[in-house]
Amino acid sequence: MLGLPFIAVQLAVVHWPFGAVLCRVVMTLDSLNQFTSIFCLTVMSVDRYLAVVHPIRSTGWRKPRVAKTVNLAVWGVSLLVNLPVVAYGGVVTRRDGCFCTIVWPEPQEAYYTAFMFYTFALGFFLPLLVICMCYLLIVVKLKTSGLRAGSAKRKRSERKVTRMVSVVVAAFVLCWLPFYVFNVTSVTGGVSATPALRGTFAFVVALGYANSCANPILYAFLSENFKKSFQNVLCLKKAAAGGGLADEIDRSDSRQDKSRVTNDPTETQSTLLNGDLQTSI
């Protein structure tokens, strides 16, 4: 989000007035935060899979110290993925002004095409594949557990988790698919950068940023556990006291679930098209 004001200025005035050094810094931070956001969402999906499908075996991994290590690793991987931006981000001067973009070496077209597919694979396709696989296995686990347990509470829990899973995956696809469709189309087809297309692309870039804003809201509205944890963080003692009995019931139900699982052997660039501006890769 730190780079948004600078990117908005370039989109508004169709010119980069901040110099080459700030251009490289803004592009690096922008693309780094984009990939980190997507990778964190992927790691959260894996964590949710472990918590639901392997609640006993994963207790040794799902600890604060491990979470901090994984978080640092995510930032490190994001930085490695963004090395091309760090190396080649800069300002290019044209007849109509200066623009912040990636200044590829020759052959520029080959580097640009490879970079578009590179970011599509690492920034969208592979994370989406992991996310969908994790959530699919979660739903399957909940359904099989529900059939064995047969309780109304478990069936309600299954419906809530299934709904949350569907909404989160749909939000991820809706926010990022248009962006990568634009990027891939810019190298596979002859797209002319008309004013209408530039405006549409600016909206598509905003959708990508909106995904990072939407996820906490989705979790807040769709996940009871998230609501309770958020209340605890804000020290809402009144809310916590009011929910004491419910928490005891949940803890008792959780202990019963763990007992079942233990006995169950089946644990379950942004460009102003064609390279004018690389905002989020």
Rounded CA-CA distance 90/102 in Å is 6
Q: What are the tens digits of pLDDT across the range 75-87? A: 999 999 999 999 9
d(CA 27, CA 31): 6
Domains of the chain: 4-263 (1.20.1070.10)
Of the pLDDT bands very low, low, confident and very high (cuts 50, 70, 90), residue 258 is very low
Q: What pLDDT is stored for residue 126 in this prediction?
A: 93
Q: pTM to 2 decimals? A: 0.70
* Cα R_g (the chain), whole angstroms: 23
State yes or no: pLDDT of 272 exceeds 60: no
Amino acid type, 264: D
Q: What is the pLDDT of residue 70?
A: 93
Please report how the helices 20-53 and 64-81 are oriented relative to each other, as an axis angle in degrees rounded to 10. Answer: 140
- DSSP structural state of residue 18: S
The residue among 29, 42, 33 whose CA lies nearest residue 172 is 42
Are 264 and 188 a contacting pair, CB within 8 Å? no
* Mean pLDDT, rounded, of the chain: 76
Report angle CA 159, 161, 164 to the nearest 5 degrees.
Answer: 110
The pLDDT > 70 percentage for the chain reads 73
Q: Note the pLDDT of residue 145.
A: 72
Per cent of the chain over pLDDT 90 is 14
* pLDDT, tens digit (0-9, with 9 covering 90-100), for 108-138: 888 988 999 999 999 999 999 998 898 888 8
84-99: pLDDT as tens digits = 999 998 888 887 778 8
3-class DSSP state of 173: helix
Q: How confident is the model at residue 222 (pLDDT cuts 50, 70, 90)?
A: confident
The secondary element (H helix, E strand) that includes residue 98 is strand 97-102
Give the mean model confidence (pLDDT) for residues 250-269: 43
DSSP character at residue 128:
H
How far is residue 45's CA from residue 132's CA, in Å, rounded to a whole number? 9
pLDDT tops 60 at residue 185: yes
pLDDT digits (tens, 9 = 90+) for 136-150: 888 888 777 765 555
